[in-house]
């Protein structure tokens, strides 16, 4: 759920900042998102805002850092599984 649509990180950060800084001026966060979204699309900006809220601890969920750590651990787990299969095959061959 990257949701950045290939937009530069600076643009994403600026859009999130604008929504969070100005949402009190609107009736809802969605209205603030729509006012900022323009050609980006409100759903893209909404996803950026949700990710920033999770990363900032304002909303429950798995942070970006935790998601990256999980990816690394899953990769390591796959690698260990492959190594284990190789060792089992070698053990059967030499045993």
pLDDT confidence of residue 55: 97
pLDDT confidence of residue 1: 45
CATH architecture of 1-61: Orthogonal Bundle (1.10)
pLDDT confidence of residue 4: 63
Where are the domains positioned within the chain? 1-61, 63-95
Angle made by CA atoms 63, 56, 77, in degrees to the nearest 5: 15
- Alpha-carbon distance of 12 to 33, in angstroms, equals 12
Distances (CA, A) of 90 to 43, 46, 69, 77, 95: 52, 52, 31, 20, 8
CB 61 within 8 A of CB 49: no
pLDDT tens per residue across all 95 residues of the chain:
455 668 999 999 999 999 999 999 999 999 999 999 987 899 999 999 999 999 999 999 999 999 999 999 999 999 999 999 999 999 988 87
Mean residue pLDDT of the chain comes to 92
pLDDT confidence of residue 95: 75
């Amino acid at each position: 759920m990257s949701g950045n649509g290939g937009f530069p990180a600076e643009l994403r950060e600026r859009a999130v900042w604008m929504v969070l800084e100005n949402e009190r001026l609107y009736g809802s966060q969605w209205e603030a998102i729509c006012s900022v979204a323009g050609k980006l699309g409100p759903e893209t900006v909404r996803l950026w805002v949700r990710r920033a809220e999770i990363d900032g601890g304002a909303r429950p969920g798995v942070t970006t850092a935790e998601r990256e750590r999980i990816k690394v651990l899953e990769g390591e787990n796959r690698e260990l599984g492959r190594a284990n299969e190789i060792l089992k095959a070698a053990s059967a061959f030499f045993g």
